[in-house]
A and B are shown apart, each in its own frame.
Chain A
Amino acid sequence: MIYFASFLIGKLNRNAIPSDLMTLGAAVSIVAGLIFGALIITYLHKWKYLWKEWFTSVDHKKIGIMYIIVSVLMLIRGGVDALMLRGQQATSVGIHHGYLSSYTFAQVFSAHGTIMIFFAAMGMMFGIINLVLPLQIGSRDVAFPFMNLTSFWLFFAGMILVNVSLGIGDFSAAGWLAYPPLSELQYSPTVGVDYWIWSLEIAGIGSLLSGVNFFTTILKTRAPGMTLTKMPMFAWSVLCTTSLIIFAFPILTVTLTLLYLDRTMGMHFFTAGAGGNMMMYVNLIWAWGHPEVYILILPAFGIFSEVVATFSHKRLFGYRTMVGALVSITVLSFTVWLHHFFTMGAGADVNGFFGIMTMVIAIPTGVKIFNWLFTMYKGRIKFSQSMLWFFGFVGLFTVGGVAGVILAVPPADFQLHNSLFLVAHFHTMIVGGVLFGYFAGLSYWFPKIFGYKLNEKLGRLTFYLWFIGFLLAFVPLYILGLLGATRRIDHYSASLGWQPLFIIAGVGVLVIASGVFVMILQHVVSFLNRDSLKDKTGDPWNGKTLEWSIPSPAPFYNFATTPIVHSHDFYWDVKNIIKHEPKEINDILMPKNDSNAPIIGITSVFFGFAMVWHIWWLALVSLFVIVAILLKRFNDENPNYLLSADKIVELEENYLIFRQS
């Protein structure tokens, strides 16, 4: 009987339901929210619509929107985690012991880091790339539309697994990178680390597929005439990011698999005894991890290159040096990973080498900063909301970069490593750099996707709240770090006098939270006023790149006729010369909707869940289902349909009439 039960449900048992009230409350409220959402959809009879128009749609713009919705939800979930962490640190001083146990605190910071990097930042990145990239290079779609949708659903599956851990079992308490030996079975006997492993494995494979997909898209489906050196800067940044993804993510996949083998099969890759070497894990995870931070920041660089040039009404300064900087950052980012473990015991020669390589990366980065500033020089700058994000970015990113160069000096790092100074450094880079960049991009391209602009006033307010909130939340951390506060503490002595700084940091998080609130408000208000904010021309900012040459919102087939490009900033050069001359329109072969991808995604959730709980039969069955679906899909003789020229002419006519009125 016992054997049968353990065959059937693996390690699952009654204790999997969380016992502490905080987690239970969170789980219950998430489940309640899901049920509420599902009820509303059922009530409005929207399931079919959602399935047909969204979940199975291979249109890259719709996939992009789905990515962004999920990533914003995850930003909020990660933000709630952050509030809990800072709430604890502001109150757990001396004789007072906060409201979180040390173990819960560890779970919360692990979940916070994991969710923010993999599901908020990565999701938003793939969202923006999906929305913009094919339009910008004059392509009808990505190279592999079905694979694109599958990537999204794998990302979604990983996200579900992280959140399932709230209600069934627990989450890893070993930090966002789960260093062994802490993450080994001996010290983390619950399923938390396995949840962490499998959500990242599944989402990571999605990322890898996306990387391959966009890399191919750029190399193979650019509009005729658009040589690599005539390609917009954002497309260049995506080319670099995807090549980093292609070479870095396999390392993550393998490392996680080895850790799982240690935990499940009793192997000894990274264990403390029996010949294992945990330092190898640290080495491998950072060989992926450092490229990963550049994977996140490069698209933000690309976005700012577009935004700054457009809103300064000038061409981008130093196109070639910009490309050179991007490419050298790409290669260099594979040569610095050791700076994350200077203190692990390598000799002075190794530390010295990697310290210098790290500082070298700051050079191309500096080149980019100066090029943006020179782009603005003597330009007619429009202080739009996208530009405000840029101004915030320049200041913060420079400060964070200088902090990074300080950390790159090994002797200094022995003091600062794992202090709050480090935490302040990477949050400056990731919030002030990555997120600000993505927000700038979202407000910049919003009209192209939805057909109306975002409310400016609320957009600015959002920026100011985020910016001030950021300073309040992280400047104290630089100071605390220099005072000697280590990261991930849930309690400290009152005599240290740190509490005021922690309280200020907590207030900062609240200000950022209000920024998120205003951001949501901005979308609601803009939606309600969408008629007056309508983008009638398709080119609201006097843009330079191809996406602005088509109507807003972009039609599902993107370009009625494939554009032919002759120069960099091509659309800028020709928009006033070529008036709407009648173009010859042909039939287009379009990819059909695909219900295989969401099914693969859902099955992956079961697969991951089964691997976490050791329910082997379920793992085998789901793996079998996935392979079967893939085989079926690969043998599909005609995944495409023909969109007739008449239909396109009809749609485009509507737009022209509309544009002239």
Chain B
Amino acid sequence: MKTNVYQASNHPTGQFKNYLIGYFVSILLTLSSFFIVTNHVLTLNTAVYVISLLAIGQFIIQIVFFLHLFNERSPRYRLLVFLLMLSIVLILVIGSIWIMTNLSSNMSIPKQIQYMNNQGGGF
């Protein structure tokens, strides 16, 4: 028996059919959002919501068909790492938005420039 040091690269790859389904569904989703925008089929407000929904659908399709997050045998490392990634990204994005809005309301450049100009100076 040979022992392969590359065990890590031998993870199961999904079936061909699944990739094909994923491929077509994601193309379909992309095309339909294009269609909505270019042909003005919906009012602006609903279009925003529908496109967001399509984007979420796209996200799920990618996860299921290409990242195979849910058809993993335990230990479900991929799912675990994915959830860790999701929570860290959320922390960073929400945190940054919170920090930056807070900062720009206190420290925004336009306000500073306005202040400077009022003082008769400038940048």
Residues of A with Cβ closer than 8 Å to B? Answer: 139-141, 143-145, 216-217, 219-221, 228, 243, 247, 251, 272-273, 275-277, 279-280, 283-284, 287, 331, 334-335, 337-338, 344-347, 349-350, 562, 586-591, 640, 642
Contact = CB atoms under 8 A, between A and B. Distances in A.
A589 B100 contact: no
A219 B7 contact: no
Contact of B96 (A139, A217, A287, A335): A287
Contacts of A338: 95, 99
Contact of B99 (A145, A346, A587, A642): A346
A144 B11 CA distance: 14
22 contacts: A140-B5, A141-B5, A143-B8, A144-B8, A145-B5, A216-B8, A220-B8, A221-B5, A247-B84, A247-B85, A251-B92, A273-B109, A277-B100, A283-B103, A334-B91, A335-B95, A344-B107, A345-B106, A350-B99, A586-B3, A587-B2, A590-B5
B96 A221 contact: no
B103 A345 contact: yes
A586 B88 contact: no
Interface in B2-31: 2-9, 11
Contacts of A141: 5
Given A345-B106, A347-B106, A273 B123 contact: yes
Contacts of A140: 3, 5
Looking at chain B's contact residues, is the secondary structure mostly helix, strand, loop, or mixed?
helix
Nearest to B96: A283
B49 interface: no
A347 B102 contact: yes
A335 B102 CA distance: 17
A283 B103 CA distance: 10
Contacts of B2: 586-589, 642
Interface string B60-90: 0000000000000001010001001101100
B123 A220 contact: no
Given A284-B96, A345-B106, 10 more contacts: A219-B77, A220-B7, A279-B100, A279-B103, A279-B107, A334-B88, A344-B103, A346-B99, A346-B102, A346-B103
Contacts of B8: 143-144, 216-217, 220-221
A3 B93 CA distance: 45
Contacts of B3: 140, 562, 586, 588-589
B107 A345 contact: yes
Given A273-B123, A350-B98, A589 B88 contact: no
B72 to A, nearest CB: 12
A277 B7 contact: no
Contacts of B5: 139-141, 145, 221, 589-591, 640
B100 A283 contact: yes
Nearest to B92: A287
B88 A277 contact: no
B68 to A, nearest CB: 16
Nearest to A344: B103
